[in-house]
Amino acid sequence: MQDRTYYVIDPEGKLRCRKCNVKLEKGRAKFMYLDNGFPVELPVCPRCDFVYVPEALALGKVLSVEKALEDK
């Protein structure tokens, strides 16, 4: 389970961290909700660890998983 990645987004060099002034890279992150964890690969700042969650992901996959977990 630990190795499974549920969702992958590559920033393709189009996102830049304002604080560190470096481009975001595809990096490992984890969504946590109600004691459940889901490893994903999202755009992450290599220096400050800022993780970007795009709108489509938040209102799509994330929302549907939230709803499913809430009713567990």
Partner 1 sequence: MSKIQERGSTHVYKVNKISKEEMDSMVSLCVYEDPPYCNAACPLKLDTRALMKAVAEGDFKKALQIYEKIAPFPVLLSQCCEAPCEGRCRMGEVGEGISIRDIEATVAANGEVTKSGGVFRRKKRQTVALFGSGLFALFLAGEIEKKMYPLTVFCEEADIEAYLKSAAAFLDEQSFAIELKRLKSKDIDFVFGCELSPKFFEEKRADFNVLCASEEAAKCFFKDAQCDRALMYYEAEKLVMGSGSGTMDAAFGAKKAALTVDRLAQKLSPANMRGEEGAVDTRLYTDMSEARELKRVAKSGAVYTKEEAMAEAQRCIQCRCEECMKSCAYLKHYKKHPGLLSREIYNNTQIIMGDHQLNKPMNSCSLCGQCAVVCPNGFDMAQVCHAARRNMVSTDKMPLAPHEFALLDMLFSNEEAFLARPQPGVEKCKYVFFPGCQASAIAPATVRAAYEDLSDRLEGGVALMLGCCGAICDWAGRYEMQETTREFIKNELSKLGDPIIIAGCPTCKKELSESVGGEIIGIWDVLEQIGLPEGAKGLSRPAAMHDSCGARGDEATQNAIRDLAAKLGCELLETEYQRDESPCCGYGGLTMYANREVAHEMAEKCLERSDAPYISYCMACRDRFAREGRESRHILELVYGTDAGNPPDISEKRWNRLTLKNNMLREIWGEESEMAKLPYELNFSDEALEMMDDRMILKSDVIAVIEHMRETGAAIDDEDTGYIMANHRVGNVTFWVALTEDAEGYTVHRAYSHRMKIVKGNG
Q: Which residues bind partner 1 (CB under 8 A)?
A: 2, 14-19, 24, 27-39, 42-45, 48-53, 55, 58-59, 62-63, 65-72
For partner 1, which is the closer residue by CB, 8 or 35? 35
Q: Nearest distance from residue 58's CB to partner 1, in Å?
A: 4
- Backbone phi, psi, residue 41, to 5°: -120, 115
CB 25 within 8 A of CB 43: yes
CA atoms of 59 and 54, how far apart (whole Å): 9
For partner 1, which is the closer residue by CB, 8 or 72? 72
Q: Nearest distance from residue 49's CB to partner 1, in Å?
A: 4
